[in-house]
Amino acid sequence: MENGYYRINKNLIVFVVGMIILLVSACSLNQQEQYPMPSLTSQPMMTLTQTETPTSTPTPLPPVSVLLAPPEADKVIVNALQERLSTWIPLEGLRFQILPSMDKDDFKVEQYKVIIAVPPVPNMNSLVLAAPEVKFLAIGFDNLIQAPNLSTIAAGENLLDEQAFLAGYIATMITPDWRVGMIGVADSPLVDTARKGFINGALFYCPSPMGVCNPTYAPFYEYPLYVEMNKDASEADWRSAAKYLKGLAVETVYVMPGAGSDSLLNYLAEQGINLIGGKTPPSNIKDHWVATLGFSPLDALDDYWQEFIGGSVSKNVAIPIEICDINQDLLSPGKQRLAEEVLADLTAGYIDTGVGAKLNTEE
């Protein structure tokens, strides 16, 4: 009995275990069907490509307009030009620069549009020829070349004779016994114009059928007198010219533009000679400076600028004469008024300077 029971239990155990295995297998199959294993598929690999970083194209700078003003240039004129041009130039879309000098190689490294120059610029002609595409405006120069890209604002020959005429008139009017003289530049193409204008201006104040002003008292020399030296003469040579006039009792001298330097003016003043010239004198000689018969280019520039910047080229603009730097101890208000009347008549053409023709002094 016990053995039979054991066999039954053993069979029962085997049966139960078998059933459990079947149930577990069925659950496992169900789980596999319910949660299938994901299939592994190959994914394409990402490749990195280098892209060029965009760069901005630089905006080209606008062309340049230059005020060419050497250190020796008239500072009053330079300052007035700088004030005007620093306002006018940007309105044209140009950059503005002030340079003390330039040479032909500068045009290879910068784009220049307009150059306004004041003297002295020794290589002015070569600059004009080296850059035919650049517009030049030369203010106050003498004897420049003619070129299609060059305009000038200058006194020129016609106004130099008026300056010299007025200088002769004023010198003779203020000097006792007409003792006046002129220092000129012998190798200047305008020296004849200046000399004749000065002599005729003196004779306009002291008309004489003999063509000279004879003094009343000794020493008896015939005035007006003149002496001329080459432009490149030494300082000693210019002093010799001054001594020559001093030795002939000259008391007032007209110094032609370009004659000598400030050293000559200083020496003449030291000799007690009164002076008339075309530019503002050094401050230390103002006691002997009668007046400046200057050519002020600023009014002429104001009138011409729009025409020039608008496209006008190769035009010569005349500068009017003005009487300034007046020493009223030497040129009294009454005599100044007479001088201004003569200047007005010269400008209007009522008085002929006689340069190139005989002056009629009988009127």
Q: What is the pLDDT of residues 167-183, one digit of tens each?
A: 999 999 999 999 999 99
Mean pLDDT over 324-332 rounds to: 96
The percent of residues above 70 in pLDDT, for the chain, comes to: 81
Cα 130-136-140 angle, rounded to 5 deg? 120
Mean pLDDT over 183-196 rounds to: 92
Q: What ranges do the domains of the chain cover? A: 64-154, 157-294+332-348
Please tell me the CATH superfamily of domain 157-294+332-348, with its number.
Response regulator (3.40.50.2300)
Name 193's Cβ contacts closer than 8 Å, sequence gap at least 6.
Answer: 157, 160, 161, 164, 355
Residue 280's pLDDT is what?
87
Distance CA 232, CA 259 (A): 9
Q: What is the pLDDT of residues 283-292, one digit of tens each?
A: 999 999 999 9
Distance CA 180, CA 245 (A): 9
Q: What is the pLDDT of residues 196-225, one digit of tens each?
A: 999 999 999 987 777 788 888 888 899 999
Distance CA 283, CA 278 (A): 15
Tell me phi and psi for residue 243, to 5 degrees: -65, -35
Q: How confident is the model at residue 360 (pLDDT cuts 50, 70, 90)?
A: very low
Domain spanning 64-154 has what CATH number? 3.40.50.2300
CB neighbourhood size of 165 (10 A): 31
Residue 312's pLDDT is what?
79
CA-wise closest residue to 86 among 61, 149, 63, 94? 94
Radius of gyration of the chain (CA): 47
Strand extents, DSSP E, 122-189: 135-139, 150-154, 180-185
Name 189's Cβ contacts closer than 8 Å, sequence gap at least 6.
Answer: 143
Name 74's Cβ contacts closer than 8 Å, sequence gap at least 6.
Answer: 118, 140, 279, 280
Q: How confident is the model at residue 320 (pLDDT cuts 50, 70, 90)?
A: confident
